[in-house]
Amino acid sequence: MSRVPVFILSGFLGSGKTTLLKRMLLASHKKGLKPAILMNELGSTDTDGQIISEGSNDILEKLLDGCICCSKKNEVVSCIENLLIQNPDVVFIELTGVANPEEVVDSITEPQLIDKLYVEKIITILDSENILEYNSILAADKVIVETNRRQIEVADMLVMNKIDLITSSKKEKIEKMIKKHNGSSPIYYTSYSDIDVDSLYVNLKPVKRKTMMIRIGKEKAVHHHHHHNQNSSFSRINTISIPIKQVTSTKVIEKFLKKWQPNLLRAKGYVPIKDQTLLMQSVIKRTTWEATNYEGDYYLVLIGINLDEANIKREWEQCLVVK
């Protein structure tokens, strides 16, 4: 039986992993390949999964609350087994921004998966605009620094994204940093994660096999509830979800986010603005807005270092007061 290729998308918060995944899914469909996706989010709110599933019928499994980052590999294994039951031709795994790709590769070598999958490529996407600033902000957190370094070291392919937002001198500094940790893997320079994804599919064809039968034991339920231990990859980084109950404005949101810098690393969510719903994504000091057909509950997700949840939610309530 042919094994299914796996692409692992790695990279720090807001680097452009989901944008690249969307491009790769489109290329899969054009080539007649049936893709399956495992999405991993730090928090309990699934913004990136919603972006991928919007207007798509692709096979999708979600691991929320950073499951891939902890030592309970059964979480990853059971989700991949659920994907394989549906006979995909290729599997994409998008990690949280602070997950170590090695941990996922280790999961794929578990006895129940090793004969069914193989790693085609580990692709690490780098936020060229903010990567050097991240290194400075996170310097005191050895766990995160080590994880980010390993994301570069183990990559088969490195994507320097947002290249249009940096100077040539900054580009040289980033290249020097990358080559210090990984001097052998190719570097691609992009904006909006726009690489030649077709080149990644040269050797991929629909998998020929009989219907795959996988027995999932009782200990591997589809829905999981657990707590991370001290070995979690994301260390001091925490996630706060804020429901939005009324129409607001881009100005209010951006002013609110600015209050929590430099501890705030990433923010995203679906926000009601006037008569439409916008997808908001913020990385460090840059915030973008995009029209969407999203029809679910409105919310903001903040990801940062030691964010004070009680204070942030209290300040948000103050923002709602009409002045």
| Angle formed by the axes of helices 101-108 and 142-153, nearest 10° | 60
The reported pTM is 0.71
Looking at the fold, whether 71 and 189 belong to one and the same domain comes out as yes
Within 10 Å of residue 256's Cβ, how many Cβ atoms? Answer: 19
Residue 37 within a domain:
yes
What percent of the chain lies above the pLDDT cut of 90?
A: 45
Looking at the fold, whether 183 and 101 belong to one and the same domain comes out as yes
Looking at the fold, whether 36 and 180 belong to one and the same domain comes out as yes
pLDDT of res. 44: 54
Residue 232 within a domain:
no
pLDDT of res. 217: 34
pLDDT of res. 225: 34
Vertex 145: Cα angle to 144 and 150 (nearest 5):
95
- What residue has token string 């578990």? 110
Over residues 192-214, the mean pLDDT reads: 73
Domain count, the chain: 2
Secondary structure (3-state) at 303: strand
If one compares 142 and 321, the residue with the highest pLDDT of the two is 142
pLDDT at 167 over 50: yes
Q: Which residue from 10, 9, 48, 68 is spatially nearest to 234, judged by alpha carbons?
A: 68
Range of the domain at 176: 4-201
Looking at the fold, whether 164 and 252 belong to one and the same domain comes out as no
pLDDT band at residue 9 using 50, 70 and 90 as cut-offs: very high
Looking at the fold, whether 105 and 244 belong to one and the same domain comes out as no
pLDDT of res. 51: 62
CATH number at residue 285: 3.30.1220.10
CATH number at residue 45: 3.40.50.300
pLDDT at 271 over 70: yes
Looking at the fold, whether 128 and 254 belong to one and the same domain comes out as no
Looking at the fold, whether 29 and 163 belong to one and the same domain comes out as yes
Residue 27 within a domain:
yes
**53 φ, ψ to 5°?**
-80, -15
CB-CB contact of 291 with 276 (8 Å): yes
**Residues linked to residue 240 through DSSP beta bridges, in sequence order:** 302
Boundary residue ending a domain (156, 184, 201): 201
pLDDT of res. 213: 39
Looking at the fold, whether 173 and 25 belong to one and the same domain comes out as yes
Residue 134 within a domain:
yes
Average model confidence (pLDDT) for the chain? 81
pLDDT tens digit sequence for 234-257: 446 677 889 999 999 999 999 999
Over residues 175-202, the mean pLDDT reads: 92
Residue 75 within a domain:
yes
pLDDT at 205 over 80: no
Residue 220 within a domain:
no
